[in-house]
Structure 1
Amino acid sequence: MNLDKALLDIFHLKTFRPGQREIIEDLVNGQDVLAMLPTGAGKSLCYQLPAYILNGVAIVISPLLSLMEDQVQQLKSNGFRNVVALNSFLGHNEREIALNQLHKQKIIYVSPEILQSRFLLNKLKKLTISLFIVDEAHCISQWGHEFRTDYLKLAEVRAELGNPPCLAITATATKEVQEDIIEKLALKNYQTHIYSIDRPNIAMVVSKVSNNLPEKLEELVTLVRNLQGPGIIYVSTRKWAEDISTILLNKGIKRVAPYHGGMSNEDRLLIQQQFINDELQLICCTSAFGMGVNKPNIRFVIHFHYPTQLESYLQEIGRAGRDGQNSIAITLYGDDERSIQLSLLTREFPSEAKLFQVLQYLRSTMPHGRIDETRLISETGITEIMWRFIRFHLEEQGVIVNLTCIPIEKDPYEIVKLISEKVTKRIRYKHDKLTLFKNWLSVNKQCRRKLVLEQFDEQQTSRPDNCCDVCGINLENYFEKEEVLHPYQPQDWQDELRKLFHE
């Protein structure tokens, strides 16, 4: 099969980026693949091209609604109609139509949670599944920075679908996480394609700031006024995303918007599209923003609050400079933030009191059949993330089967003890990761890039001119040359129509 011709005919591209051809060749030849490509290296094409080459439909498991929707919209805007995302963006009628037309699709995007639906699985089992793609595959590892318990059930789902060739692909995975992915997905006779996580066009800067909040905010405003955009500012909470956006707007900085998981799906999608289309120049957001956003010209990423581990940091700064042009990542680092980060480590896990409350709720509703998850979350006051964690471990202990609670024979105290031990182990691991990252932030004598590469068992072979603050860097190289933010120029409506109809 001539992959170059397929690339040109289907995606109108003349050349593959590093790693893409090798991954696609293995998938087309029916092999399982574990791949690690840096953010911005074109991971989506690695499964989209073989999906359109092979007979049948490819299943893509994706962790975020916005990521699914963005990729579906990109494909449709490029003329691909036989692609769908099964998620909450679909209305009731759209969902019914989509489920009845799955056999007409080439790519179906799903979340790991929706794949637990027996109804959907039975529908998929009637199809020829060409590929089983696990995007952001680090989520399947308990050592991954965005661990999702429903990812652990994917090997069973794949087996039910006839064990089609599997691609597990991610941007950041240590050796430990890579081994965990292989084990949890039960990859057999697999090929690995592991590429450097280094993005030499992104300069890394850590700026030590005062613990005085007004001074830190003033530093942020100064940077935003001067840096060439577009840009992203990462903060730790939804409230901070709203507050920073308001502060910048009040300072006269235009085309700024907040983005976080507490907003409606529609609002998030709108803001994402406005940013991609240069109608917005600056996004103040939590880590919920950025994954899969296809915007090549992001020039800077600022962490107003630093993330809890190196892997998250690399994913977030990797959203800059996808066009290969010089970009910069700046972390504003204050000693007082450690308490904020420690609270982030624990907030996704249930306390023992919450665990007992959930068990009591399940016992009281036991005679009524299937668990009403929405009601359980509402009445017990836990988050959806907490419930997923609890449900997974209750399923492991046989307390829940197919979302039905069976008579609890075990001592509730024993159940809580076992789950609490899992929580403690997980928090300890994340605490160690936070300490490691904080030590990296505190470095003042060793090249930051070199230390990052060592964490992924890589050796630094060359050093870019604009490497990091320790090696020496001139911030003015990244300042706007003419004006802070380019005025938005709406496209001519005729040009817009030509794009829509691919003329």
Structure 2
Amino acid sequence: MNGTDSALTVVLPTGGGKTLLFTAPACLDRPGVTIVVVPYRQLINETVQDARTAGIECIEWKHDTVDPAAVVIVSADKLDDHFFGYASLLASKGLLRRVFVDECHLAITAHSWRRRLVELARVQTLEAPLIMLTATLPVHLESDLEIRACTARRTTKYVVRANIKDGELQREALKVCRKRLALLKHGTKMVVYCRFKSECEEMAAELGCGFFYVGAGSNEEALERWKKEGGCVVATSALGTGVNYPGIEIVLHASMLYGLIDFTQESGRAGRGGEEVDSLILIEKGWEARERAKRRAKR
């Protein structure tokens, strides 16, 4: 908080208090401005709402924003010349105290399909300490590391079923989901992850629950209802990073994972309040051979 570190990477478990690192300085006398870069639209809404509820002056940066605030949240998709002009003006006036990049691992794992994340490197040009936050940065990718806590979840039980017959994955996933839903306590939550939007909609229709993904057609109302009432929601990885919803006790992946980092983020949505959690992965037999064939085809 005193600005002596020019760059800092903080690796803490999901639910481990990373948000506190940029909200606490905003509660000091003469806090100045803290800029927080977040990767997803949903995270902006959640972060601004939570900060304001806590009595912190917090705004979302938009292209017509000129005034400062204790905490300014900006989407990674808006890191353009206009934003950097705004941030540089704050710095020239001595108001910019620090810049945070939340879920910084995405700069490594998602830049190939979200080209705007390449612009994250430009935040290093701002005249303020840079703090990068994540729960899933592999050790060999760390740089300027100062703080790392154990990110293991001892209350999570991981189960992998890789014996499902070809073509039977969705049927088996629905069977498992219905059984788990019947045992789910009132108000607690379950998340089912699929790789594609079409799979989300199809499985949600079969289960009679809501679905969520980024883009047109996403059911925001169903997500809000799930947050308040519990039950099941089917989602893509859009619900896998940064969001903080209490009461999630079951996470089920009904398809091949994108990667270990994505899985850690998605399974990490559960158990953030210390709950006992079941994290289930369902995949078909012969998945290893298929994955090897896909990788050879991409070479």
User: TM bucket by the smaller chain?
Assistant: 0.7 to 0.9
Larger-Rg structure? 1
1:123 counterpart = 2:86: yes
Paired residue for 2:21, among 37, 42, 46?
46
Change (3 A) 1:261 1:59: same
Paired residue for 2:42, among 66, 72, 81?
66
228-237 vs 256-265, which deviates more?
256-265
Contact 2:204 2:210 in 1 (8 A): yes
Change (3 A) 1:153 1:145: closer
Contact 2:32 2:96 in 1 (8 A): yes
1:158 counterpart = 2:158: no
Change (3 A) 1:110 1:167: same
Contact 2:156 2:271 in 1 (8 A): yes
Paired residue for 1:210, among 141, 165, 188?
165
Give the number of the structure whose residues are more often strand, by fraction.
2
Contact 1:34 1:167 in 2 (8 A): yes
User: What per-residue deviation string (whole Å, max 9, x for no partner) do you get for residues 300-353 of structure 1?
Assistant: 10111131211111111111111112111011121266699789989xxxxxxx
The RMSD of aligned alpha carbons is 2.8
Q: 1:224-373 alignment to 2 at 5 Å? A: 224-228=181-185, 229-249=188-208, 256-263=209-216, 267-268=219-220, 270-278=221-229, 280-335=230-285
Matched letter for residue 315 of structure 1: Q
Q: Tell me by how many angstroms 1:212 deviates.
A: 4.2
Alpha-carbon separation, structure 1, partners of 2:211 and 2:245:
17
Contact 2:189 2:248 in 1 (8 A): yes
Alignment partner of 2:150: what SS? coil
TM-score (norm 2): 0.85
Change (3 A) 1:60 1:49: same
Runs of 4+ in 1 over 6 A off after TM superposition: 338-346
Change (3 A) 1:337 1:125: same
Matched letter for residue 189 of structure 2: P
Matched letter for residue 115 of structure 1: L
Alignment partner of 1:333: what SS? strand
Change (3 A) 1:58 1:341: farther
Q: Tell me by how many angstroms 1:175 deviates.
A: 2.1
Alpha-carbon separation, structure 2, partners of 1:177 and 1:139:
12
Q: Tell me by how many angstroms 1:133 deviates.
A: 0.4
Alpha-carbon separation, structure 2, partners of 1:344 and 1:297:
37
Alpha-carbon separation, structure 2, partners of 1:204 and 1:86:
39
Contact 1:234 1:303 in 2 (8 A): yes
Matched letter for residue 79 of structure 2: L
Matched letter for residue 258 of structure 1: F
Greater RCO (CA < 8 Å, at least 6 residues apart)? 2
Q: Tell me by how many angstroms 1:109 deviates.
A: 1.1
Paired residue for 2:103, among 136, 149, 152?
136
Contact 2:211 2:223 in 1 (8 A): no
Matched letter for residue 219 of structure 1: V
TM-score (norm 1): 0.52
User: What per-residue deviation string (whole Å, max 9, x for no partner) do you get for residues 126-180 of structure 1?
Assistant: 2121111011111222xx3665443343343432x32x111111010112322xx
Q: Tell me by how many angstroms 1:221 deviates.
A: 2.4
Change (3 A) 1:326 1:146: farther
1:79 counterpart = 2:85: no
User: What per-residue deviation string (whole Å, max 9, x for no partner) do you get for residues 386-405 of structure 1?
Assistant: xxxxxxxxxxxxxxxxxxxx
Contact 1:33 1:191 in 2 (8 A): yes
Contact 1:171 1:197 in 2 (8 A): yes
Change (3 A) 1:156 1:246: closer
User: What per-residue deviation string (whole Å, max 9, x for no partner) do you get for residues 400-442 of structure 1?
Assistant: xxxxxxxxxxxxxxxxxxxxxxxx9xx66xxxxxxxxxxxxxx
Alpha-carbon separation, structure 1, partners of 2:102 and 2:12:
11
Alignment partner of 1:307: what SS? coil
User: What per-residue deviation string (whole Å, max 9, x for no partner) do you get for residues 202-260 of structure 1?
Assistant: 110112333342344323322332344411000111011111111012xxxxxx20111
Change (3 A) 1:219 1:276: closer
Contact 2:44 2:73 in 1 (8 A): yes
Contact 1:139 1:146 in 2 (8 A): yes
| Residue identity (%) | 23
Q: Tell me by how many angstroms 1:30 deviates.
A: 2.9
Contact 2:181 2:231 in 1 (8 A): no
Q: Tell me by how many angstroms 1:77 deviates.
A: 2.4
Alignment partner of 1:126: what SS? helix
Unmatched segments (≥5 aa) in structure 2 = none
Alpha-carbon separation, structure 1, partners of 2:294 and 2:192:
18
Alpha-carbon separation, structure 2, partners of 1:68 and 1:48:
14
Unmatched segments (≥5 aa) in structure 1 = 1-26, 88-94, 183-189, 250-255, 347-423, 429-503
Contact 1:85 1:109 in 2 (8 A): yes
Contact 1:34 1:193 in 2 (8 A): yes
Q: Which residue of 2 aligns with 1:200?
A: 154
Alignment partner of 1:277: what SS? helix
Alpha-carbon separation, structure 1, partners of 2:197 and 2:291:
14
210-219 vs 290-299, which deviates more?
210-219
Give the number of the structure whose residues are more often helix, by fraction.
1
